[in-house]
Amino acid sequence: MVTQQLTNPMGRSQTAIKYVRDGYRAIRGKSPKYTTDLHCVRTAAAAIRPPLTLQNNSVTEVEWSLLSKLVEESRNHTGPIIEIGVLAGKTTQRMARYKSPTQKILAVDNFCWNPWGLTPDEQWGLVCHSLDYLVSTGNVEVIRIDKNEFFETYNGPAPSLVFLDAMHDYEETKKDILWAQRVGAKIIAGHDYGPDFPGVIQIVDEVGGPKQLAGSVWRLA
Ligand SMILES: C[S@@+](CC[C@H](N)C(=O)[O-])C[C@H]1O[C@@H](n2cnc3c(N)ncnc32)[C@H](O)[C@@H]1O
């Protein structure tokens, strides 16, 4: 029955009407009357998707202590900061706080993966929502594209900083690093240099190893 309410369009519109009616009640300072029986629907929805732990899958505080310094260092260079792999935009927002006002962050993601069961369009919507202020003020541009297509078509200036955090196998990380070197990025860094991602360790070591490492955030020599 709960499944029916979640998937049946008629059920959804009836549910929406109930929320609207309770919305009017709320405006008039009254408690909900029509949606009190719908809590089971919300609980069921939460049960069929992974928990929304937004703090996971981003950089930790220890890792941020290095990455924030790299962003500060990148202020000495011209060219954009390029983040490959945005997820929900948490690191994008943090980097925006430390960059110079004239630097732009290009936030590149095709929204093919997230740990919360969101569709690509939903993840894209979440990122546009959370980064709205930074986008509308010209500090960030969100680019919805496969990273390898972005690499092929990028014709901007040499980036001041590239932060690689999309796919963490050897072959894909190699493509990321070689592109960053090819376009003359002044600082090349990334995430997940650790035992869970031996391919990242392998390729980072092959190109000279980390000059700096904090947690699993690495910066190339
Ligand atoms: C670990 S998350 C990024 C976390 C983010 N940098 C942060 O610190 O909050 C990986 C992201 O890479 C994206 N991604 C994976 N493969 C990709 C590809 N081929 N092109 C573009 N984005 C990709 C996924 O959609 C996901 O959002």
**Ligand 1, pocket-test mutation among 86, 142, 146, most atoms within 8 A of CB:** 86
pLDDT category at 6 given cuts 50, 70, 90 is very low
Distances in Å between the Cα of 53 and the Cα atoms of 56, 58, 119, 194 are 6, 11, 16, 22
| Residue of 105, 109, 168 with the most ligand 1 atoms within 8 Å of its CB, for mutation | 109
Distance from residue 86's CA to the centre of ligand 1 (Å): 5
Distance 76 CA to ligand 1 centre (A): 27
Q: How far is the CA of 202 from the centre of ligand 1 (A)?
A: 20
pLDDT band at 81 (very low <50, low <70, confident <90, very high): very high
DSSP alpha helices (H): ranges in the chain? 2-7, 9-27, 39-47, 61-74, 90-98, 120-130, 132-136, 147-153, 170-182, 198-206
Is it the case that residue 97 has pLDDT exceeding 50? yes
Q: Which has more confidence, 15 or 75?
A: 75
| Residues whose CB falls within 8 Å of the CB of residue 178, separated by 6 or more in sequence, listed in order | none
Please say if the pLDDT value at position 12 is more than 90.
no
For residue 90, pLDDT over 70 is answered with yes
Average pLDDT, the chain: 89
Q: How far does the centroid of ligand 1 lie from the alpha carbon of residue 40, in Å? A: 33
Domain residue extents for the chain: 2-47, 61-220
Q: How far is the CA of 131 from the centre of ligand 1 (A)?
A: 16
User: Under CATH, what is the fold of the domain 61-220?
Assistant: Rossmann fold (3.40.50)
pLDDT of 202 > 60? The answer is: yes
The per-residue pLDDT for 134 is 98
Query: Ligand 1: which residues within 6 Å by Cβ?
Result: 57-59, 83, 85-87, 90-91, 109-114, 146-147, 165-167
What is the per-residue pLDDT for 72?
98
Q: Please give the pLDDT value at position 1.
A: 34
Please tell me the predicted confidence (pLDDT) of residue 10: 59
Q: How far apart are CA 4 and CA 164, in angstroms?
A: 42
Of all protein residues, the one whose alpha carbon is nearest to atom 17 of ligand 1 is 166
Q: Whose CA is nearest to atom 26 of ligand 1?
A: 87
Give the SS3 label for residue 161: strand
- Report which of residues 200 and 28 the model is more confident about: 200
pLDDT top residue among 206 and 27? 206
3-class DSSP assignment, residue 217: strand
State the DSSP code for 196: T
Question: What is the structure's pLDDT at 2?
Answer: 38
Q: Which of 3-7, 21-25, 208-212 has the lowest mean pLDDT?
A: 3-7
Note the pLDDT tens digit of each residue in 138-151. 999 999 999 999 99
Going from the Cα of 27 to the center of ligand 1, the distance in angstroms, rounded, reads 41
More confident residue, 140 or 48: 140
User: What pLDDT score was predicted for residue 3?
Assistant: 38
The average pLDDT across 160-167 equals 98
* Chain segment 99-139, per-residue pLDDT in tens: 999 999 999 999 999 999 999 999 999 999 999 999 999 99
User: Would you tell me the crossing angle of helices 90-98 and 61-74 to the nearest 10 degrees?
Assistant: 50
